[in-house]
Amino acid sequence: MAGLVLACSDGRLHESLLALQTRLGLDHADRISVPGGPLALLRSEHERRSLLDWLTTLVPAHDIDTIVLAAHEDCLAYTRARRAGVDERAAVARDLRAARDVVRGRLSGLTVPMYVVPYDVVAARFGSAERVD
Residue 100 Cα distances to 28, 93, 94, 110, angstroms: 22, 11, 10, 10
> pLDDT digits over 97-130, tens only?
999 999 999 999 999 999 999 999 899 999 999 9
| Phi (first) and psi of residue 87, to 5 degrees | -70, 105
> pLDDT digits over 37-94, tens only?
999 999 899 999 999 999 999 999 999 999 999 999 999 887 766 677 778 888 899 9
Domains, the chain, with CATH or none = 3-132 (3.40.1050.10)
| Full-model pTM | 0.93
Positions of E strands within 1-133 = 3-8, 30-34, 66-72, 114-117, 119-120, 125-126, 130-132
